[in-house]
Structure 1
């Protein structure tokens, strides 16, 4: 079974969003302007669960099917990757 997680970070100054897309197969980093962000994932079967707040304190997670975990953290990108990796392995 493959698990997919996307943690979305918003830069409050530039409104640039960086998405960490992690599955138990690969880690991808996607950057897009807010207006283009939906289009960036339009080809993927993801459903938005929560949008990142302007202060970037929420790390949004986007669900894929029913394999979904939400994380609320204020830590570094590396720590996010570790948390998401742990979530994927714990299932």
Structure 2
């Protein structure tokens, strides 16, 4: 038995569960310009003094969530939770599920 990451309900064995996998990558939207040796030295100095885990998370991260059918529907209706502190409020599905 698994637990829905959206609402906390238990998903019984044999019931369909949904996996949402997110990949977030950095895109500074800048065109690449030639890099001088001085620029490269500055970049290397910044990287050497930074925490490697923090650097990695700034440019790439992944997360996965398990959702029940109800939360999958809510997520598909409003994946970014726009216009609400509760991403599921707009479809009338907000509130306790048990």
Query: Given the two structures, how large is their TM-score scaled by the length of structure 2?
Result: 0.25
- Say which structure is richer in strand: 1
**Which protein, 1 or 2, shows the higher relative CO under an 8 Å CA cutoff with sep ≥ 6?**
2
- Say which structure is richer in helix: 2
Q: Which structure has the larger Rg over C-alpha atoms?
A: 2
